């Protein structure tokens, strides 16, 4: 299905009133239903709509209409416009700021610098329509009115939309390298906590000082011959 003409119903009204084209031909050209075209001819549809001449508007030629009137199988085709309209290219540049809002621009820049330091200069310039010189002066606090500046949200001031601000902030976050956060001391591995601990070789006295471990008990290693051998040399006063 091709493109419909401008004001299709008004064009259909004109074709019904001024040509002998069939309902199907008019419906096909105006992209309407044949019954709707029949209703236009009967006065039941499009009542009060003034007919639009497609020849005057350059959408049809008189030769094309005559050819279709002679052959009911012929389908009307829109005329190709000979006028080439150049494509309008959107100029890339700083955002235009109304005169009533330009005095608030330094306050908005200061707000962006403080609350979103990750934004690049080009992003701030796009959001509030400022220059690099002004932005640098506010960053370095060399602006002529630095002492009187107050940070103000550019969205509240009407200098940019919340969607534009979120878009630039998200873009800056993607460009920022990921940093590994230090969570401080972590849990000791299970291999360390479950391993057997060595027995201490020293003990502590009541004052907390280390003292040598008690010698092993010789009770289990009792030598009777050695003990009774020593008794032979003892004089019992006979």
Per-residue pLDDT reduced to its tens digit, 171-193: 888 876 655 455 555 555 666 66
pLDDT band at 1 (very low <50, low <70, confident <90, very high): very low
Kindly report the average pLDDT of the chain as a whole number.
77
pLDDT tens-digit profile of 119-175? 999 999 999 888 899 999 998 989 888 888 899 998 888 888 889 999 998 988 887
What is the percentage of the chain residues whose pLDDT exceeds 70?
63
Task: Give the mean pLDDT of 44-71.
Answer: 87
What is the percentage of the chain residues whose pLDDT exceeds 90?
18
Distance CA 190, CA 55 (A): 90
- Residue 66 tokens read as 């005559």
Weakest-pLDDT range from 74-83, 103-112, 142-151, 179-188: 179-188
pLDDT of residue 110: 92
Q: Strand (E) positions, the chain?
A: 202-204, 210-212
pLDDT band at 24 (very low <50, low <70, confident <90, very high): very high
- Residue 167 tokens read as 């878009």
Distance CA 230, CA 74 (A): 144
- Residue 38 tokens read as 């029949």
4-to-27, 33, 149, 210, 236 alpha-carbon distances in Å: 10, 13, 57, 103, 143
pLDDT tens-digit profile of 215-225? 555 555 556 66
122-to-94, 118, 154, 225 alpha-carbon distances in Å: 9, 12, 16, 102
């Amino acid at each position: 299905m091709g493109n419909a003409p401008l004001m299709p119903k008004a064009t259909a009204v004109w074709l019904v009133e001024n040509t002998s084209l069939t309902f199907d031909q008019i419906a096909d050209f105006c992209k309407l239903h044949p019954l709707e075209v029949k209703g236009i001819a009967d006065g039941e549809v499009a009542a009060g709509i003034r007919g639009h001449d497609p020849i005057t508007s350059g959408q049809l030629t008189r030769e094309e209409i005559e050819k279709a009137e002679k052959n009911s199988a012929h389908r009307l085709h829109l005329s190709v416009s000979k006028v080439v309209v150049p494509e309008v290219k959107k100029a890339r540049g700083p955002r235009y700021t109304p005169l009533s809002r330009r005095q608030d621009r330094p306050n908005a820049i200061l707000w962006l610098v403080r609350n979103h330091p990750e934004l690049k200069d080009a992003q701030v310039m796009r959001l509030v329509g400022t220059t690099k010189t002004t932005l640098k002066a506010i960053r370095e606090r060399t602006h002529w009115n630095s002492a009187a500046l107050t940070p103000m949200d550019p969205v509240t001031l009407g200098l940019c939309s919340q969607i534009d601000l979120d878009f630039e902030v998200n873009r800056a976050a993607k460009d920022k390298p990921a940093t590994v956060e230090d969570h401080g001391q972590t849990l000791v591995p299970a291999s360390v906590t479950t391993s057997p601990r060595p027995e201490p070789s020293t003990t502590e006295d009541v004052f907390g000082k280390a003292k040598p471990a008690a010698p092993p008990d010789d009770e289990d290693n009792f030598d009777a011959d050695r003990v009774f051998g020593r008794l032979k040399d003892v004089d019992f006063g006979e």
